[in-house]
Structures are given as structure tokens and as C-alpha cells.
Amino acid sequence: MLRSALILVAAGKGERVGGNIPKQFQPLSGKPLIEHTISNLKKSFDFNVISIVVAKNCRFIGDLSEKPSSALKIVTGGSTRTESVRCGLNSLKGKDIDHVYIHDAARPFVTEALIKALGQALETHSAAVPALKIVDACKSPEGAAVNRDEILRVQTPQAFHYDKILSAFDEYAANDAFADDIAVAHKAGLSLTFTQGDERNFKLTYAEDFAKAEAMLQTPTYIA
Ligand code: CTP
Ligand code: MG
């Protein structure tokens, strides 16, 4: 039986959302945003180990319904997302992990279908990422046309063979920051593939995204 781990990165400051507390701990429909993310992840897949990566001396994690156990670790992250993921990957050493799924705490609407597709993709590839096509026309900041068929939007969870992504981070990400983990996998030459992304699985990035998320939660048939 394959052993799977989840790394949930929640060590960011949420500067674009603003406010006194980082966005992942701000309330959404009566509970912290991250609680929605954790609950949807747990509903979607039976992870053997979960590592939640939070900022040093995080004041908010103790208030959550999740409590540390042998299957749930609270790990201290770093000043970049890449560094936080590295901390999460290191926390899984010696746990006999085959597959690791790395997810943004700020994406509460993760689904079972997303995770299932990633698991299937890992049967043939070392790395997998949900992607979406772009429908709008694209331009460079100078106004030049950019062919939208040559680019994709990608989301999390991003899934990897644990040993491969751990080595890739050791070799390429010790001192550099990357936009996401697939970028590290690509740099290391891992075989990667795309799975179907989901528009609902958006990342809360600005304050107004909370109103959008609240509206989605009030339409359960839309997110079910
Ligand atoms: N993240 C992290 N450690 C960091 C930076 C980001 O664990 N040093 C996490 C965030 O908590 C978030 C995810 O990575 O769940 C995606 O990052 P982003 O949406 O950029 O969140 P923030 O960096 O917190 O937001 P901002 O860039 O607006 O400050
Ligand atoms: Mg950020």
C-alpha cells in the first residue's frame, strides 16, 4: 500500500489581503479559512501523515480544531513559500512516504477529483499539477500579444514522488525561491504531467476574495 503525505503551507503573511492576522487564519463563514481547507482535504483523501507548516511562533494554530499527533505535525516554515515547503518536506523524512501532496492553505475549495487525478498521474510521472487553460487574450506589459495556447494556469495541490521532490529541493531550492513546487521539479528534470484544474479551487489572494468564497459556501450545490 502506498503511503501518502500532505504538506499544507500556511506560513505566509497574507500581505495582499491585509488585516491583523494572516489570511489563512481569518474567518470565513464562521471558522478560520484554513479549517475549511483541512476539512476538504481530509474528506477527499486519507493521508497517512499531514504536516501543517506555519510561521515561527504562530499564535493562531493552537486555536484550531486540529491537534498535533503522530499523524499530524505542526512544522515551522520560512520566509518564502519555497523555504516553507522545504521545511515540510524535511519533516517527512524517515516516515516511509511514497507520494506527497503540497497544498496552499489559502485554497479551501480543493476537491476529491483533483486529488484523485493527481494520484493517477503519479502512476506514470514523478510530478503532477492541476492546470487550466486561459480564456482571455494575453499581452505582455508592453502590449505585445502573447499566445495564450502556450501558457497554462496551475494550481495546488501539486503531487510528487517524495524521494524525487526531496532531492530536487535539496539540489535546487536550498537558496532560491520558486513560484511553486512544480518549478523545482521542472528545474530538476523530473517527469511531470498536467491534470484537470478546477475554477472553484482558487487561491484567496485579496480581501474581496473572502466575499466570493462566502458566496460559494452559500451555494453548496456549486461546490459539492
Ligand atoms: N506560504 C508559506 N510560507 C511563506 C509564504 C507563503 O507557507 N513564507 C503559503 C501561504 O500561507 C499560502 C501559500 O503559501 O497558503 C500561497 O502563498 P500566497 O497566496 O502568496 O500567500 P501569502 O504569501 O501569505 O500572501 P501574500 O503574498 O499576499 O503576502
Ligand atoms: Mg506570497
Cβ pair 5, 115 in contact under 8 A? no
Cβ pair 26, 32 in contact under 8 A? yes
Q: Is the pLDDT at 220 greater than 90, yes or no?
A: no
Q: Where are the beta strands (DSSP E) in 39-157?
A: 49-54, 72-76, 99-104, 127-132, 138-139, 145-146, 153-154
C-alpha cell at 179: 513560484
| Per-residue model confidence as pLDDT tens digits over 153-185 | 999 999 999 999 999 999 999 999 999 999 999
Residue nearest to atom 1 of ligand 1 (CA): 12
Q: Judge if the beta carbon of residue 37 lies within 6 A of ligand 1.
A: no
- What is the mean predicted confidence (pLDDT) over 27-42? 97
Domains and CATH numbers, the chain: 4-219 (3.90.550.10)
Ligand 1 pocket test, pick from 7, 8, 13, 25 with the greatest ligand atom count within 8 Å of Cβ, gives 13
- What is the mean predicted confidence (pLDDT) over 1-26? 97
User: Given pLDDT bands bounded at 50, 70 and 90, which one contains residue 32?
Assistant: very high
Q: Judge if the beta carbon of residue 24 lies within 6 A of ligand 1.
A: yes
- CA of 124 from ligand 2 middle (Å) equals 31
Distance separating alpha carbons of residues 154 and 158, to the nearest angstrom: 9
User: Given pLDDT bands bounded at 50, 70 and 90, which one contains residue 224?
Assistant: confident
Q: Judge if the beta carbon of residue 12 lies within 6 A of ligand 1.
A: yes
Please tell me the pTM assigned to this model.
0.98
Distance separating alpha carbons of residues 60 and 46, to the nearest angstrom: 25
CA 164: distance to chain centroid? 18
